[in-house]
Amino acid sequence: MRKPKIVVLGAGYGGLVTVTRLQKALSVDEANIVLINKNDYHYETTWLHEASAGTLHHDRVRYDVDSVINRSKVEFIRAEVQDIKIDEKKVILNTGEVEYDYLVVALGGESETFGIEGLKEHAFTISNVNTARQLRDHIDYQFATYALEEDKKDERLTIVVGGAGFTGIEFLGELANRVPELCKEYDIDYSKVRIYCVEAAPMVLPGFDPELVKYAVALLEKKGVEFKIGTPIKGATPEGIIVAKGETETEVIKAGTVVWAAGVRGSSIIEKSGIENMRARVKVNPDLRAPNQEDIFVLGDCSLMINEEINRPYPPTAQIAMQQGETVARNVVKLVKGEEGDLETFVPDLKGTVCSLGDDDAIGVVFDKKLTGTKASFMKKMIDNRALFMIGGPSLVLKKGKFNVL
């Protein structure tokens, strides 16, 4: 009998949890498992703000895909997915084509600029290892160049972060720790540096406990971050950004570095494939299959699930992506083995959220308990280590884990 072919797209949190569970549950005689990813490494997306600010080397945030998959059971293809032909049940890669019987789409999200002019061209994003390296090097370059300029342009030292959501605030926390080091390294007076957080919404960290938000804002302000809340960015230019000022006017903020950390959408591959989607995310069925697709599962940032309690989508998180990976693996195994009964319904088990404010501070709610400062920071590192554990077990935690607990 022909063995079914399971193809998993993306070696991020969702994809790797799926594959590591599938390789345990299925024998080589039961299925062919294929994993396809752009790089031969996985990166911890949730640590990218550290690599982007330069507080953690980019090699610390990634590990080889090979180190967590069993190559005798899983075929790994390093390639870029370009399209999914659902009618022909095949995936188009930059290197060829791969057919599937069951497809798991875990390609993560992409930055969303909401059509704001100039952002794509002039703003950095925090999206992957390449963008992290580029942003860190750019900031370093600005400080190095300022140090040797005769006619010093102070705006070179201005950094604008667009977005006061999770990514923006975590990046600001790292930046606020990194900038004093850069000033020391390049003999620059700290008072010359400006760090702005520009946010269109009227609040910082929407959805977070207000008391914790107050703590985060006070801490970042103390370290020199200036918040411009309720201030939509209207455009970006090579010189900086244009923001709304009042109802009709605009203001220019000159800046050597602009970082856009305000929007995530799903994968453009989803849009291209013709699978029913909303902003490149698939509103999945309870068993995590795409609507009207018996053999396609979608998870992580390219999936969309509504939290019925508040009638809003769950935020895209690694926590949910990994939990979905477990459910998808069990459901695929059930189909492959031809087991009777309905597929498992996915129910998120939200254990809490911790937002770091640099290596040494954080805010969060874990098991309904509010945490700040070193306790929250300790918890954040435990969460980071847990993600490693879930995919690579204790050996990966020992190799890549965060042990600089306070």
Binding site for ligand FAD (CB under 6 A): 10-15, 37-39, 42, 45-46, 48-49, 80-81, 106-108, 126, 166-167, 170, 267, 269, 300-301, 316-319, 321
Q: Report, in Å, the least distance between residue 378 CB and ligand FAD.
A: 14
For 35-104, give the DSSP string. EEESSSEEE-GGGHHHHHHTSS-GGGGEEEGGGTS-TTTEEEEE--EEEEETTTTEEEETTEEEE-SEEE
* Nearest residue to ligand FAD, scored by beta-carbon proximity: 12
Contact predicate 40/66, CB 8 Å? yes
Contact predicate 118/236, CB 8 Å? yes
Q: Report, in Å, the least distance between residue 96 CB and ligand FAD.
A: 13
The distance of Cα 394 from the centroid of its chain, to the nearest Å, equals 23
Contact predicate 256/156, CB 8 Å? yes
| DSSP-derived secondary structure letter, 253 | E
Q: What gap in Å lies between CA 347 and CA 319, rounded to an integer? A: 12
User: Minimal CA–CA distance to 192: which of 180, 174, 206?
Assistant: 180
At residue 382, φ and ψ (nearest 5 deg) are -65, -40
Q: Report, in Å, the least distance between residue 363 CB and ligand FAD.
A: 12
Q: What gap in Å lies between CA 111 and CA 212, rounded to an integer? A: 27
- For ligand FAD, give the closer residue by CB, 131 or 285: 131
Q: Report, in Å, the least distance between residue 84 CB and ligand FAD.
A: 10
How many residues in total does the chain contain? Answer: 406
**Both tokens of residue 29?**
């005689």
- For ligand FAD, give the closer residue by CB, 40 or 121: 40
Q: Report, in Å, the least distance between residue 225 CB and ligand FAD.
A: 16
- For ligand FAD, give the closer residue by CB, 183 or 376: 376
- For ligand FAD, give the closer residue by CB, 67 or 237: 67
Q: Report, in Å, the least distance between residue 302 CB and ligand FAD.
A: 6
Query: Is 170 part of the annotated catalytic residue set?
Result: yes
- For ligand FAD, give the closer residue by CB, 42 or 156: 42
- For ligand FAD, give the closer residue by CB, 162 or 300: 300
First-to-final CA distance of the chain:
57
The distance of Cα 278 from the centroid of its chain, to the nearest Å, equals 19
Of the listed 44, 50, 170, 199, which one is catalytic?
A: 170
**Both tokens of residue 19?**
């594959």
Catalytic residues: 170
